[in-house]
């Protein structure tokens, strides 16, 4: 009986453990805050109140662990934010190069004359 109980407890402990997810330090993914989020400089259990980040603050996630993300702000400050307060930033739109040669090749086409009835329309539909 004790052996089965110990196996059950061991299984529950292993299921409850979360994995730590590390991201690339050189190119970490960008995230935005969903709403005003708490920013903990020293960790989630710090003794002083957290700073507040505005909604849509851009930051880089360096590590995700136990519901918190270790992040780097754009001013290079690091700290912790609740991961559920974050969403992935939209991808950067690719730049379209401006080519003046293409712009000079645009030919203006006159608008069609809507008063003229095409020959393809049967006589009974013409007015």
112 φ, ψ to 5°? -70, 155
Domains along the chain with CATH numbers? 18-86 (2.30.30.40)
pLDDT in tens, 57-84: 999 998 888 889 999 998 989 999 999 9
pLDDT value at position 16? Answer: 52
Q: What is the pTM of this model?
A: 0.58
Residues with Cβ within 8 Å of residue 77, at least 6 apart in sequence: 41
pLDDT value at position 66? Answer: 83
pLDDT value at position 82? Answer: 92
**Cα angle 36-42-45, degrees, rounded to a multiple of 5:** 80
pLDDT in tens, 5-47: 666 666 555 555 556 777 766 677 788 899 999 899 888 888 8
């Amino acid at each position: 009986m004790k052996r089965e109980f110990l196996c059950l407890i061991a299984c529950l402990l292993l299921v409850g453990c979360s994995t730590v997810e590390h991201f690339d330090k050189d190119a970490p993914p960008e995230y935005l805050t969903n709403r005003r989020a708490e920013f903990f400089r020293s960790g989630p259990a710090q003794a002083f109140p957290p700073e507040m980040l505005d909604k849509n603050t851009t930051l880089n996630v360096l590590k995700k662990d136990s519901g918190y993300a270790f992040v780097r702000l754009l001013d290079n400050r690091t700290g912790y934010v609740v991961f559920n307060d974050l969403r992935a930033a939209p991808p950067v739109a690719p730049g379209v190069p401006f080519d003046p040669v293409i712009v000079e090749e645009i030919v203006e086409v006159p608008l069609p004359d809507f008063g003229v009835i095409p020959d393809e329309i049967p006589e009974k539909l013409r007015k």
